[in-house]
Amino acid sequence: MALSRLEFLKGVAATAGVTSFGMRRIFAAPEGWKPDKTPNITFGVVSDTHLRTDRTGQKIDMAHWPDKYLVAAFKHFHDINVDAVVHCGDMADRGQVVEMQAHAEAWRKAFPDDRAADGRKVEKLFVMGNHDVDGYDYGHGFRVDQIYHDPEELKKHILQSDLAGWWERIWGEKYEPVWHKEVKGYHFFGLHWGVDEMDLDRLIASKRASCALDVGDKPFFFMSHAITHANFNKAVRAYRNGFGFFGHWHMSAANWKVLRLLDGATPSVQCPAIYPFFDDGKWLGGGDQGISVAPIEDELQAGSWRQGLVIRVYDDMLAISRHEYSEGGSLGADWIMPLKKQKPHPLSLTAMGKKIGSPQFRADAKLRVETVGQAFKLSIPPADGNPNSRVYAFDVVVVGDDQKKKLFKSVYAAGANMGVGHAPNGGVTIFKIPVAELPKGAELTVAVRPITSLGTHGRAIVRKSQLCLV
């Protein structure tokens, strides 16, 4: 059983280790599955690309909002011969036509005429987000209507003035508020921003029999920009094989809590962003495991990530691989979900907590502690002793003369959101604590333990150090 934060704190002064969860993969692959098996369908997933114009509104600000990461993702999808690409919305940051056109240009660099190198059609499975529809009105330094004062001129530059028309002109396909597409025998359903979610449910219901959505274990997929709400989630629970994709929150796919169950039943993925936010520390709590995790500090250390997913679907399982597109690399072992119904579901927090394993320091790992100016500097070694359990952050506890007064901190692991092998400082996490925050005492005991994004954790390393102020 995982130690609570309180139990960890109690054990620090005695240089306690903690109990490991074990060293298993996050999910067990179905019996008989072979990694070289050919998938039935492969598709890429991106979200929240947020290409933005400069202050003239005429062209994309490539200095600060470049398209190169989106192009890198599309070209990666091309190179691995995907059958389709999902985009979960927020393409045009300020809702401008030129921003959406920049996405079409990026697409054509990888898939000219919507074709793969061998001539196969690669299906676009795109939905619009709030920025595509309403972004012209958000501000972000200036509002688009501050550039185009005349209402009629403004209409020429924003997507909202003619969503259907601009969608057809830019993407070469009819705009439908909710849509259904079939790719290699698999069914996909999409919902654009601002459309009633129950319209999506009604569309799925209308195809339930003709598309055999409840037959066997074969999944169907649905997507919208933001995660759906209670009424839709309750409705989709009635279907045997639904699987959802959502964007909007810019969470990192290194955080296992992007995997979730809608209404406790329907599996889904909160897709990572090409343009990220860093503050996903609030998602690190243990949920139904009751593990308490403090706010994570120094998020910039976690890496300036740009991520996407590749989904491979087999007869008996679905595999999700995670990729980083700024410096490159994989985010670790694939997430494997058997398609046969199981209780508890493999994506439940309880099931993941049991199978995720615990990140571990190597046996020879050493914690370095030194005083630098008016700060206590910790150099935390990589916790890569169990490669299948990726460390996401570290709990840090400092104890002085009074054993009851302990300083508790949490810090992102270096490169927590970057591809394997791309962490800064060789994976050493640098963390400074101002001397003024430290407990009283000439000799301090420092304990550090690695944690995953679910709160499962490995054994602590401990170091006693003199506080040497100059």
CB 167, CB 192: distance < 8 Å:
no
User: Which residues make Cβ contacts (< 8 Å) with residue 369, sequence separation at least 6?
Assistant: 376, 377, 378, 379, 444, 446, 463, 465
Residue 233 lies inside a defined structural domain of this protein: yes
Widest Cα–Cα separation across the chain? 77
Task: Using CA atoms of 446, 452, 453, 456 in order, give the dihedral in degrees to the nearest 10.
Answer: -90
Residue 247 shares a structural domain with residue 376 = no
The per-residue pLDDT for 278 is 57
Kindly report the CATH number assigned to the domain that includes residue 377: 2.60.40.10
- Name residue 399's beta-bridge partners: 406, 445
Residue 292 lies inside a defined structural domain of this protein: no
Under the banding of pLDDT at 50, 70 and 90, the label for residue 453 is confident
**Strand, coil or helix: 117:** coil
Residue 308 lies inside a defined structural domain of this protein: no
d(CA 441, CA 216): 65
The one-letter code for the residue type at 355 is K
- Name residue 188's beta-bridge partners: 181, 221
Residue 163 shares a structural domain with residue 91 = yes
Q: Which two tokens stand for residue 343?
A: 């209780």
Residue 49 lies inside a defined structural domain of this protein: yes
**CA-based radius of gyration for the chain:** 24
Strand duo 220-224 + 242-246: pairing: parallel
Under the banding of pLDDT at 50, 70 and 90, the label for residue 95 is very high
Q: What is the pLDDT of residues 383-392, one digit of tens each?
A: 999 877 889 9
CB 308, CB 288: distance < 8 Å:
no
Under the banding of pLDDT at 50, 70 and 90, the label for residue 318 is very high
Q: Which two tokens stand for residue 358?
A: 């615990």
Residue 121 shares a structural domain with residue 229 = yes
d(CA 124, CA 126): 6
Residue 113 lies inside a defined structural domain of this protein: yes
Residue 315 lies inside a defined structural domain of this protein: no
d(CA 92, CA 249): 16
Residue 18 lies inside a defined structural domain of this protein: yes
Helix (H) or strand (E) holding 287: none
Q: Is the peptide bond before 344 cis (omega within 30 degrees of 0)?
A: yes
The answer, yes or no, to whether residue 266 has pLDDT greater than 80, is yes
Residue 92 shares a structural domain with residue 226 = yes
For residue 107, CA distances in Å to 67, 68, 72, 460 come to 10, 11, 10, 47
CB 27, CB 35: distance < 8 Å:
no
Kindly report the CATH number assigned to the domain that includes residue 265: 3.60.21.10
Residue 145 shares a structural domain with residue 271 = yes
CB 274, CB 47: distance < 8 Å:
yes
For residue 206, CA distances in Å to 180, 199, 216 come to 11, 11, 19
Residue 452 lies inside a defined structural domain of this protein: yes
d(CA 131, CA 147): 18
- Domain of residue 83 covers 41-277
Given 240, 261, 277, which residue is the final one in a domain?
A: 277
Residue 16 shares a structural domain with residue 93 = no
Given 247, 277, 307, which residue is the final one in a domain?
A: 277
Residue 45 shares a structural domain with residue 19 = no
Residue 17 shares a structural domain with residue 46 = no
Residue 14 shares a structural domain with residue 94 = no
Residue 366 shares a structural domain with residue 273 = no
Query: What does the pLDDT average to over 20-34?
Result: 39
Q: What whole-number percentage of the chain has pLDDT above 70? A: 87
Under the banding of pLDDT at 50, 70 and 90, the label for residue 6 is very low
Give the total number of structural domains in the chain: 2
The per-residue pLDDT for 22 is 24
Query: What does the pLDDT average to over 368-389?
Result: 90
Given 224, 246, 277, which residue is the final one in a domain?
A: 277
Residue 88 shares a structural domain with residue 224 = yes
Residue 156 shares a structural domain with residue 241 = yes
- Name residue 330's beta-bridge partners: 323
The per-residue pLDDT for 332 is 87
d(CA 173, CA 165): 10
